[in-house]
Structure 1
Amino acid sequence: MNRWRGNPWAVLVTLSLGFFLTLLDLTAVNVAIPSMIESMGASLDEVLWVINVYILVLAALLIAFGRLGDVFGPRAMFVAGTAVFTAASVLCALSQDPAQLIAARAVQGLGAAALAPQTMTIIIGTFPPERRGTALGVWGAVAGVATIAGPTLGGLLVSSAGWRWIFVVNVPIGLLVFVLAVLLVPDLRHGARRRVDVLGVVFAAAGLASLTFALTEGQRYEWNATIWCLLGAGVLLLAVFLVQQGKRQRNDPLLPFALFRERGYAVMSFVSATVQVGMIGLFLPVMIYLQSVLRFSAVEAGLVMAPAMVVSAVVSPFAGRLADRLGGKYLLMASLALFAGGMAWLAVVAEVERAWWEFQPALLVVGVGIGGVFGPMVTVAMYRVEPAMAGAASGVLNTIRQIGTVIGSAAVGAVLQNQLATSLREEAAARAGELPETVRDRFVSGFESVARSGTAIDAGQSGAAIPLPPGTPAEVVHDVQQAAASVFGHGVVDAMGPTLALPIAVIAVGAVSCLLVRRREGDRAQEPAGTARG
C-alpha cells in the first residue's frame, strides 16, 4: 500500500468519496420527510430541523475548519471530520425521537464542516499545476452527481428499507474513506507554526449561524420580528468579525484579506454563490413540478434528472483540463450561458402533461453547462492562492457557496410561493364557473392556503383544502377534485416561468462578472501548494 501513498489519483478518489458523503446528505434526507413524520410521530417543523440544522452547522463552521486545516494539517482534519461524520451517521440511524435525530444531524454537520474544505486544499497540494484543473474538474463533478444521487438513492432506500438506511449507507463508505485517508493521503504541511484565532472563530460561527437560520426559517415564520432581529444580529456579528480580522492581518487571521485582493478569487467567490442559486432554482421548482403535477414518484423524478447529471460528471474533468490549457474565463462564461439557456428551455417545455423524455434535450444542455462550471471556477479561484492560505481560501469559498445555497433557497422559495398564490387564485376563479354554485366559493377559498400547502412535494397534492358540506353528491365531489387537480397543475406550470427567471438572471450576472477576471487567469503554472510528508 505504501507505493500508493501520495499517488495523486488515489488521493483524489479518497477525497471525492468523502466530499460526496457530505453533499449526499444535503439532499437525500428531503425525500424521507413523510416517513420520518409517520415513524417517529414528529411534527413537520421538527423534521425540517433535521434538514436545516445540518446546513446551519456546515455553513457556520466551514471558514473555521478551513483555517484549522492550515494550522493542524489538512489530512488530520479530513480524517477527524470523516470519523465524526461516520459516527454521527450511526447515531442518526439509531435515533428514537426527533430531538435525538436533530442532535445527531448537528454533529454530522460538524464532521462535514471539518472534512469538506480540506478536500480542495489537499488536491491543490497533491497535483502538479498542469493537471490541477482536471483534478478539480473531477472534484466538481462530485457536486453534480451527489445532487441527483441524493433524492434518487434516498427514494430507493426509503421505499425499500426505511428512512434509517439513508444514514446507515454512510457508515461503510465513511469507514472506507477513513482507512484510505490514513493509508493514502499525504501529510501536507507548510512549515510555519500557526495559532488558532479563537475569537474570530466565535464571531464568524455566531454571525453565519444567525444569518443562515434567519434565511432558512424566515419564510416559515413569515419574516416576523425575531427573524429580522436574527438577520440584523448576523450582519452585526459578521461586521465585528471583519473589523477584528482587520486588526489581525499580520497575526494569523482566520480570514486573510489578501485573498480578495486577487481578482480571480474575489470574482469566483461571487460566481460560486450565483451557481448555487442556480442549482437551487433548478431543482426546487422542477422537482415539485415532476412530483406534484406529473405524478412522478421521488425515485422517478430523480431518474428524470439523472442523464443531465451523468453528462455533467463526464464533462467536468474535460472542462478542468481545458481550463489548465486555455484558462477558465471564457470557458466558464460559456458554461454559465448554457446552464441559464437550458433552464430557460425547460421553462418553455413544461406543460401540465409531458412525457419524461421531452425534458431531456433541455436538461442535457443544463448538464453540459453545470459540468463546465465547477472545474474552471475552482481553478481560476485557487491558482494564485499561496500554499499557506489554501485551507482558509477553500473554507471561505465553500462557505460562500453554502450561503448562496441558503439565500437561493429562501429567495426561490419565496418567489415560487408568491407566484403560486397568484396563479392558483386566478386558475381557481376561472374554473369555479364550471362547478355548481353551492361549492364555488368554497372552491376558490380553498386555494387561499396555498402559502402553506401549495409547495408540498407530494404526488397527491392538489394545492387546496376544500371542505365540502355533508351530503354533497359523489359526482360533485369528483368534479371538485378533478377541477382542483387541474387548477394546481396549471398553477404550478404558470408559476415555473417567473420562478426560474430569478436563478436564470442570477446566473447571467455571474457569467458577465467573469469579464472582470484577467485573461487566461488559469493557464499559468503555480508552485505546488505544500510539501508532502509520509
Structure 2
Amino acid sequence: MDPQSIQKRRWIILGVLTLSLLVVVLDNTILNVALKTIADPRQGLGATQGQLEWSINSYTLVFAGLLFTFGVLGDRFGRRRVLVAGMVVFGLGSLASAYAQSPDQLIWARALMGLGGAAVMPQTLSIITNVFEPAERGRAIGIWAGAVGLAVAIGPVTGGLLLAHFWWGSVFLINVPIVVVSIALMAVLVPESRNPAPGGLDPLGVLLSVIGLVGLSYGIIQGGDRSDWLHPAVLGPIAGGVAMLALFAWHEARTPDPAFDVKLFRDPRLAAAVAAIALCFFAAAGVFFFSGFYLQSVRDMSALESGAMMLPFAVAQLAFSPLSAGFVRRFGAKAVCTAGLLLVAAALFGFHEVDADTSLWFVGAVFFVQGAGMANVMPPVTESVMSALPREKAGAGSAINNTARQVATAMGVAVLGSIVGSSYRDRMHDHLAALPAGAREAAGQSITGAHAVADRLGAAGRGLVGPADGAFVHGMHLAALISAVVAFAGALVVLKWLPGRPKPAPAAAERPAEVTADV
C-alpha cells in the first residue's frame, strides 16, 4: 500500500482501528453491568465480591503487564500483524469466558482476554501516529480517545439489552462476530508498519511487573474481604508486591532494552500526562464498579435500566471528545486538562451526595459531568504522551499511555472496591447475628448476597434490606470521596507540570514515516 493511498484512506483506517479498540474496551464496561447476575448463584456463577474484583483485575493486570512488551513486538514484527494476532486471542478468550462454569474459570478466561487486549491496544495508537500528519493527529487521537469513552458508556446499555434476553455469557459472546469483522477489515485496509530500529525484549522485566501487580492487588482485595488490613495474609502480598515493583523499577533503569522505559519520565510533559491518566482512571474505576450494584441492588433497577443510566456519560463523551483538540489549540493542554479533572472531581464528589432516594435525574447529571470532564482529559494527555516521543517510538508511547490507564483501573477497582466491601461488612456485622450461619455469611459478603438472603427468607428477611442498602451506600460515599480527592490531585499535577499554550508550529511539515508496503 503506497503512502498516497494510505493518506486517502486514513479516516477509513481510523474507523477500523476504532472498531478493534471499541470491542476491547467495551468488554470491561459490559462486564460491570453483568456483575450482579454473575454473583447470583442461580442465574450466574455465585461469585463473591472478591472473585468479581478478580474477574476484572485478571484482565487488566495481564493487559497492563504486557502492554509495553507488545508495543515493542509491534514495532519489531509489524503492527498490523501483532494487531490481528491479538484480536484472534481476544476472540478465543471471549468464547472461553462466555462458557465458563465457575468463577475460577471465568477469571482465567478473562486473563486470556487481557493477553489479546494487550496486543491490540498499543498497535491502534501506533498506527494512528504513523498514518496521520501532525496537523491532523490531535483530531484523530481525539476520536480514538472518544471511542474509549463511548465504549465505557455504551457497554452497560449493550450488556443490559443482552441480559434482558440471554444468559450472562452473552456479554462475552457478542465480542466474537465483532472480532471476525475487524480482522477481515484489517487485512484489506490497515497498512503494515514497523520501527526500523526496534528495541529488544525484556522477559525478566515483564515477569517482575506482573508478579508485583498481582501481589499488590491480591493483598488489597484480601484486605477488603477480611476487613483486617493488618492480617499477615494482607500485609504479606502487599509488601511482596511493592518489593517486586521496586525491583522492577530498578531493573528497568539499568537494562539496555527495558520492558517499560522509566527514563522516558524525565520529560515532565510525558510524566505529568501519564500521572493525569493514572489518577483520572483510578478515581473513575471505583465509580464504574460500585455504580452497577447501587443502581441494580439499592435502586432495584434491571440491568437494562442500569445500563441506560450511563447514556448521559456517552452523550458527554460524544459531544466533547471531538472538540478537545480545538480547546487545546486555543487554551493549551494545561488549562483544558485541569478543567477536565476538576469536572471529574466534582462529579465524583456528587456521588458522595447520592443515597437510596436521590433523584435519578441528579445521578444522570453526575454521569454527564463526569463524561464531559474525562472527554477533556484523555485526548490532550494522550497527544502529550505521543508528541513527547519520536514517531519511531510510537509503540512505546502507546504502551505507556495504556499501561498507566490499565494499572490505574486495576488499582482503582482493588482499592476502592475493597473500601466499599470492608465498610459494608463492618456496618452489617450487628444486623446479622439472628441469621443462620450460612445466610449470615452470604448476607455479610455483599449487598447482592444480602438481597438474595432477604428474598429466600420472605417476610422474615424484609428487615435486612434497609440496613444492607444503608451499609452499601455508606461505603459508596467513602469511596466516592476518596475518588474525588484523587481526581483533584490529578488537576494539581497537571496545573503544575503540563505545558501551557502550544508555540506556533514551524513551517516545514513532518513527513509520514515508517509505513511500509503490505507484506
Q: What TM-score does the superposition give when structure 2 sets the normalisation length?
A: 0.86
**Structure-2 change in CA distance of 1:319 and 1:387 (3 Å):** same
Establish whether residue 402 from structure 1 lines up as the match of residue 406 from structure 2.
yes
Establish whether residue 356 from structure 1 lines up as the match of residue 360 from structure 2.
yes
State the alpha-carbon separation in 1 of the partners of residues 488 and 513 from structure 2. 36
Mapped contact 1:379–1:522 kept (Cα < 8 A): no
State the alpha-carbon separation in 2 of the partners of residues 160 and 304 from structure 1. 19
Query: Which of 475, 484, 491 in structure 2 is aligned with 1:504?
Result: 484
The amino acid of 1:501's aligned partner reads L
State the Cα distance separating 1:90 from its structure 2 match. Answer: 3.1
Q: Match of 1:388?
A: 392
Q: Match of 1:531?
A: 514
Q: Match of 2:194?
A: 189
SS at match of 1:532: coil
Q: Match of 1:378?
A: 382
Q: For residues 39-79 of structure 1, what are the alpha-carbon distances to aligned partners after superposition, in whole Å with 9 as ceiling and x for unaligned?
A: 78665476665444222321221122122222223222112
Q: For residues 65-121 of structure 1, what are the alpha-carbon distances to aligned partners after superposition, in whole Å with 9 as ceiling and x for unaligned?
A: 122222223222112111221233234345556665444333221111111112222
Q: Match of 1:34?
A: 37
State the alpha-carbon separation in 1 of the partners of residues 441 and 106 from structure 2. 30
Establish whether residue 334 from structure 1 lines up as the match of residue 343 from structure 2.
no
SS at match of 1:149: helix
**Structure-2 change in CA distance of 1:520 and 1:259 (3 Å):** farther
The amino acid of 1:532's aligned partner reads V
Establish whether residue 127 from structure 1 lines up as the match of residue 132 from structure 2.
yes
Query: Which of 520, 530, 534 in structure 1 is aligned with 2:501?
Result: 520
Where structure 2 has 5 or more consecutive residues not aligned to the other structure, the ranges are none
Mapped contact 2:61–2:410 kept (Cα < 8 A): no
Establish whether residue 261 from structure 1 lines up as the match of residue 253 from structure 2.
no
Q: For residues 488-525 of structure 1, what are the alpha-carbon distances to aligned partners after superposition, in whole Å with 9 as ceiling and x for unaligned?
A: 34444444433311000000000011121222259757
Establish whether residue 456 from structure 1 lines up as the match of residue 448 from structure 2.
yes
State the alpha-carbon separation in 1 of the partners of residues 475 and 148 from structure 2. 28
State the alpha-carbon separation in 2 of the partners of residues 287 and 96 from structure 1. 23
State the Cα distance separating 1:330 from its structure 2 match. Answer: 0.5
Q: Tell me whether 32-41 or 232-241 shows the greater mean CA deviation.
A: 32-41
SS at match of 1:252: coil
State the alpha-carbon separation in 2 of the partners of residues 165 and 465 from structure 1. 26
The amino acid of 1:384's aligned partner reads A
Query: Which of 291, 302, 307 in structure 1 is aligned with 2:296?
Result: 291
State the Cα distance separating 1:314 from its structure 2 match. Answer: 2.2
State the alpha-carbon separation in 1 of the partners of residues 159 and 141 from structure 2. 27
**Structure-2 change in CA distance of 1:28 and 1:317 (3 Å):** same
Query: Which of 198, 203, 212 in structure 1 is aligned with 2:203?
Result: 198
The amino acid of 1:158's aligned partner reads L
Query: Which of 311, 316, 320 in structure 1 is aligned with 2:316?
Result: 311
**Structure-2 change in CA distance of 1:81 and 1:160 (3 Å):** same
Mapped contact 1:383–1:522 kept (Cα < 8 A): no
Q: Match of 2:180?
A: 175
State the Cα distance separating 1:389 from its structure 2 match. Answer: 2.2
Mapped contact 1:344–1:504 kept (Cα < 8 A): yes
SS at match of 1:187: coil
**Structure-2 change in CA distance of 1:290 and 1:457 (3 Å):** farther
State the alpha-carbon separation in 1 of the partners of residues 79 and 503 from structure 2. 24
State the alpha-carbon separation in 2 of the partners of residues 32 and 50 from structure 1. 9
Mapped contact 1:69–1:391 kept (Cα < 8 A): yes
State the alpha-carbon separation in 1 of the partners of residues 388 and 500 from structure 2. 14
**Structure-2 change in CA distance of 1:227 and 1:425 (3 Å):** closer
SS at match of 1:220: helix
Mapped contact 1:85–1:111 kept (Cα < 8 A): yes
The amino acid of 1:336's aligned partner reads L
Sequence identity percentage: 30
For residues 62-211 of structure 1, the aligned pairs below 5 Å read 62-95=67-100, 101-211=106-216
Q: Match of 2:372?
A: 368
Mapped contact 1:16–1:139 kept (Cα < 8 A): yes
Query: Which of 241, 245, 250 in structure 2 is aligned with 1:243?
Result: 250
Q: Match of 2:466?
A: 486
Where structure 1 has 5 or more consecutive residues not aligned to the other structure, the ranges are 429-439, 468-476
Establish whether residue 229 from structure 1 lines up as the match of residue 212 from structure 2.
no
Count matched residues. Answer: 507
**Structure-2 change in CA distance of 1:451 and 1:340 (3 Å):** farther
Mapped contact 1:285–1:499 kept (Cα < 8 A): no
**Structure-2 change in CA distance of 1:500 and 1:75 (3 Å):** same
State the alpha-carbon separation in 2 of the partners of residues 148 and 134 from structure 1. 21
**Structure-2 change in CA distance of 1:528 and 1:236 (3 Å):** farther
The amino acid of 1:389's aligned partner reads K
The amino acid of 2:515's aligned partner reads A
Q: What TM-score does the superposition give when structure 1 sets the normalisation length?
A: 0.84
Mapped contact 1:188–1:531 kept (Cα < 8 A): yes
The amino acid of 1:74's aligned partner reads R
Q: Tell me whether 128-137 or 317-326 shows the greater mean CA deviation.
A: 317-326
